[in-house]
Amino acid sequence: MKTLSRIVIALIIIAMTLPMALACAETVEQEETTAAPVATQAPVATEETTVEETLFAPSNIPDDLKFEGTTLSILHWDDAHLVEFFAEVENGESVNDAIYWRNEKIEDQFGINLEFTGMNGNYSNRKKFVNACVNNVMSGADVYDMFCGYSMTGASIMSEGISQDLTNYDILDLDSPWWPESLISKARIKDGIYFVSGDISTNFLYMMYLCIFNKDLFASIKQQDVSVLYNLVHDGEWTIDKLLEYTNDTYLDLDADQAVSEGDRFGITVTSVHNDSFYTGADLESVYVNADGDLAMSEDLFSERTVNLLEKVCDLIHNSGNGYNNKGVEIFANGTVLFVVDRPNVIATNLTSVDFSFGILPIPKYDADQDGYKTCLSFPYTVYMISTASKNAEAAAATIELMAYENYVNVTPVLFEETMKARYADQSDDAFMFDYIRKGVVIDIGRLFCIQLDNMSYSIFRTAVNKNAAGSYASTAGQYTKTFNMMLKDINKSLDKLK
């Protein structure tokens, strides 16, 4: 590399090529109204700026694989936060241009034409999207080969029996790092995988929960170098207790109005819709696949571990006097909050003009004995499926694989550089933090089926945090368990058709 900036880019890309894995629920209506980030002018990877190919795991797609003359018809949700499916032209915006060239390569390598059709499909429009997929399969004419939908639509489309089992296609190398390990292991239902996500979805990268911290404020309040936080993560000791410790004694009535308000200084701010990130972060799940292949309620939901976690989170946000749960990144941007829990997309939308340095950390573990950091995803990312009516299924499977691989090699590093580079005092540390976050992403089957579960898979814990109800949480187990299991019974009936 010839310049310092290129060395930094190389370090970031190296940090991001370690093993990866995959979906916390946002109040979905609020998520869908979040403004799409405005792309900056980060450089697109070229021969000069791209590091050696050996930094990336290789693709197993044969060079001579062709589907000459095939047109793949793809239905996608067009109200996603970030450009993901296609770009009409190069326009100088790095992610746009990387996606443009990704599609050009796919078409050229396979000899195919990619035909994209968009329709609204976010939380508010998810039912219309699913119905469009069902009607298209049933019509038998002008069918789509692929469905690319908002994350909640995957389980619904699968339950309708109109998405194919992707394990039937050898071209899909689902053990590769561009396919998140957690999705592949936990989303296997009736011995099949019916939708995938990961690097293939640019919105996936934007929706991972993390802790953002004010480096300047940390040094000022704690009189310590920020390296102590990074070292805790590296040593596996970044826990909820440590977060409580570092937010302790941070509140200050800055505006001197004798009342707790957004004009004060806080140790942490977490808006109510982000609180369930702590549940996943503690390596807890709501639903699992049992030995019979059926979905079952996890004992985690009302376990002692969950009750203990709930007590700590309630102390952190409500009882310590150091937390604020009305606004999040908006007041963090004022420079008066030490930590905020949110997603990478807010860096591009809210933190591009702040006058302080900030860094990122994973969501803390339950305790130091926990196996790795666990990351929850907000819902606005994409799951990719092959229609049961597709006449070009082999080409569709190959396209999904190459699309994911090309994103892994070229789009994700560009997206990371574009989104994360600004305001980092030590980019290499934050790049490695980002890798911990990314490879720890966890899929909870209950979150995939949250619509069919009336959102209970995340709302039980979230509501308890928001109401500061740790003391009465265990007593609600009976009422919730009965309703939860009734809903799971209905879901399992719909999944029997997949056998």
Q: Helix or strand or coil: residue 213?
A: strand
In this structure, what DSSP letter does residue 473 have? Answer: S
Q: Quote the CA–CA distance of 451 and 433 in Å, as a whole number.
A: 32
The position carrying tokens 């596996």 is: 236
Residue pointed to by tokens 């500061």: 468
Domains with residue ranges and CATH for the chain:
23-206+380-422 (3.40.190.10), 210-374+443-487 (3.40.190.10)
d(CA 461, CA 101): 43
Question: What does pTM read for this prediction?
Answer: 0.85
Q: What is the pLDDT along the chain (499 residues), one digit of tens a residue?
A: 333 333 333 434 434 443 333 334 444 444 444 444 433 333 344 433 343 344 788 999 999 999 999 999 999 999 998 899 999 999 998 889 999 999 999 999 999 999 999 999 999 999 999 999 999 999 988 899 999 999 999 999 999 999 999 999 999 999 999 998 887 777 788 889 999 999 999 999 889 999 999 999 999 999 999 999 999 999 999 999 999 999 999 999 998 888 898 889 999 999 988 998 999 999 999 999 998 889 999 999 999 999 999 999 999 999 999 999 888 899 999 999 999 999 988 887 888 889 999 999 999 999 999 999 999 999 999 999 999 999 999 999 999 999 999 999 999 888 877 665 544 445 678 888 988 998 899 888 899 999 999 999 999 999 999 999 999 999 999 999 999 999 999 999 999 888 6
Q: How many beta carbons lie within 10 A of that of residue 166, not counting itself? A: 24
β-pair type (70-77, 112-119): parallel
